[in-house]
Amino acid sequence: MSSLSARLLVSVSVLLLLFFGATILVLDMAFVSSGERAREEILDGYLMQLLAAAEPDDDHSLSLPRDLVESRFNAIGSGLYAELLDEGQHVIWQSQSALGLALPAGNAPPRGEHRFARESLADGTPLLTLSLAVDWEFADDSLQGFVFKVHESLDAFNAQIASFRRQLFGWFGAVAIIMLLAIAALMRSLLKPLRQIEAEIGEIEAGKRAALSVYAPTELRGVARNMNLLINSERARSERYRITLDNLAHSLKTPLAAIRSLLDDNAASQSTDRINAEVERMDEIVRYQLRKPAATDNLVLAPVAIASEIDKLVSGMRKVYRDKAPSFDVRVDKNAQFRGDTGDFLELAGNLIDNACKWCERQVVVEVRPFYMGRKDTHGMVLSVADDGAGIPDGAAEVLLTRGSRLDESTPGHGIGLAIVADLVRSYGGEIKIKPAALGGANVTVSIPARFA
């Protein structure tokens, strides 16, 4: 998960889930416990009614009236039952509500004490039972033990608990959603400075802004300040390079002009034209190499118009190699992208096309397609140049990428073209491959990934 907002939201959601889960559990336990205590107090009141209604008999026993004050004891299946047992746990009396039911016997409590327990009927209906064991003193001062019991069905109590739990989950769920929405809105507001810095860095890359804004929160102010120091340092270094190389360009300009003047003084010949072409080309190369340090003045990584630049290169090669008149097959995919210095692209593509024209028989194929690395919304570039020449011997590909290495000393050149291409490709985080072409010659492919392109 790459989004900081998503990570924070997920983390807060997990914490809320744990916190609300623990809170719901505690509240549920407290509600059930308090509900049972309340039922116990109510059952204790029913026991006091039974004790008050009990009357001693002449045969040292107790009797209770048929109809009790609490009407639920008198209604069959009301869920509230009462019974009176002797010392041997034999039933002496049961309320009318217990007619046809086998109430659980349970264990009798010690004399003078209450016993509160959960029991169940034969059909599984849960009950709350409160028992009280007493010693009843008769008129002749004799004592006889009895157990008064009150049972109440838990169906209504469980339904009340279920309703409470539904409300509890509903309210806590609504509160959690509201809190998450509020936190998401708050994080969006708090992370706004980060998005602003991201946007400003993009503007710096596009050359629309000179530095990051200093009006940032305290936590980000140091980041913005250090980034601006880095940008200013790079600009200052680039400016020093530019001034130094401008001086060098000025120094080289005079010797080149002198060479042209000397050639013009001589009679025109085919060799003189070729020397002039080479001098002009050398002049262009010098200008490009001296222009490179200034290209990063604004830290710009603008996309290069690949198709039009390739067309210019091909047009130039047609003139340079007009004697050979190579046939060009150019295929450029519009989704391919190269973000960087235009001069770097011309140096890269120009060297590859120049080599292909130099070694081909008649045909050169130039293909540019996108280079994807996991994401379809970011496009890099794969540039492939093939020819129908003699090709490259096995094992010679690595040699060609070494500066100054050549396979054919009879052909004009310095043996640094492919080495320059390899250096440029590495500087953009890409790779270069040389393999046999389907046309019979060599196929040189460079791949520039999207994160650099």
CA dist., res. 93 & res. 111, Å (int):
19
Tell me the pLDDT tens digit for each residue of 136-160: 888 888 888 899 999 999 888 889 9
- Where is average pLDDT lowest: 219-228, 385-394, 421-430? 219-228
Tell me the pLDDT tens digit for each residue of 178-216: 988 898 888 888 888 888 888 888 887 777 788 887 776
Whether 244 maps to a domain, the answer reads no
- Name the band, by pLDDT with cuts 50, 70 and 90, for residue 237: confident
Whether 368 maps to a domain, the answer reads yes
Number of Cβ within a 10 Å radius of residue 285: 12
The DSSP symbol for 304 reads: P
3-class DSSP assignment, residue 129: strand
Whether 423 maps to a domain, the answer reads yes
Tell me the pLDDT tens digit for each residue of 100-124: 888 888 888 888 888 999 888 888 8
Residue that is last in its domain, among 104, 139, 160: 160
Residue that is last in its domain, among 179, 211, 234: 234
At residue 379, the pLDDT reads: 72
Domain span holding position 204: 200-234
Tell me the pLDDT tens digit for each residue of 326-344: 999 999 999 888 887 787 8
At residue 425, the pLDDT reads: 87
At residue 287, the pLDDT reads: 63
Burial track 232-262 (b if 16+ CB lie within 10 A, e otherwise): eeebeebeebbeebeeeeeeeeeeeeeeeee
Predicted TM-score (pTM) above 0.85: no
**For position 90, which CATH number holds?**
3.30.450
Same domain, 45 and 147: yes
When comparing pLDDT for 288 and 130, which is higher? 130
- Pick from 417, 412, 388: nearest CA to 400: 417
At residue 419, the pLDDT reads: 80
Tell me the pLDDT tens digit for each residue of 289-317: 555 554 444 444 678 899 999 999 999 88
Same domain, 133 and 215: no
Same domain, 423 and 367: yes
Same domain, 96 and 225: no
Percent of the chain with pLDDT over 90: 24
Whether 266 maps to a domain, the answer reads no
- Where is average pLDDT lowest: 63-72, 184-193, 236-245, 288-297? 288-297
Q: Where are the alpha helices (DSSP H) in 98-151?
A: none
Whether 450 maps to a domain, the answer reads yes
Whether 174 maps to a domain, the answer reads no
Whether 254 maps to a domain, the answer reads no
CA dist., res. 20 & res. 176, Å (int):
8
CB 143 within 8 A of CB 117: no
Same domain, 229 and 362: no
> Residues 47-56: what's their mean pLDDT?
90
- Where is average pLDDT lowest: 22-26, 55-59, 91-95? 55-59
| Residue indicated by tokens 């340090």 | 293
CB 411 within 8 A of CB 432: no
Burial class (CB in 10 A: 0-12, 13-18, 19+), 222: exposed
Residue that is last in its domain, among 108, 141, 160: 160
At residue 307, the pLDDT reads: 93
Same domain, 227 and 93: no
At residue 80, the pLDDT reads: 92
pLDDT at 403 exceeding the cut of 70: no
- Pick from 385, 370, 384, 376: nearest CA to 453: 370
Tell me the pLDDT tens digit for each residue of 160-176: 999 999 999 999 999 98
CA dist., res. 127 & res. 105, Å (int):
12
- Pick from 1, 11, 2: nearest CA to 184: 11
At residue 417, the pLDDT reads: 67
CA dist., res. 352 & res. 394, Å (int):
19
- Chain mean pLDDT for the chain: 81
Whether 182 maps to a domain, the answer reads no
pLDDT at 33 exceeding the cut of 60: yes
> How many domains would you assign to the chain?
3
Read off the tokens for 181: 């929405």
> Residues 393-407: what's their mean pLDDT?
62
Type of residue numbered 219: E
Terminal Cα distance for the chain, rounded? 24
At residue 369, the pLDDT reads: 93
List the beta bridge partners of residue 332: 368
At residue 105, the pLDDT reads: 83
**For position 347, which CATH number holds?**
3.30.565.10
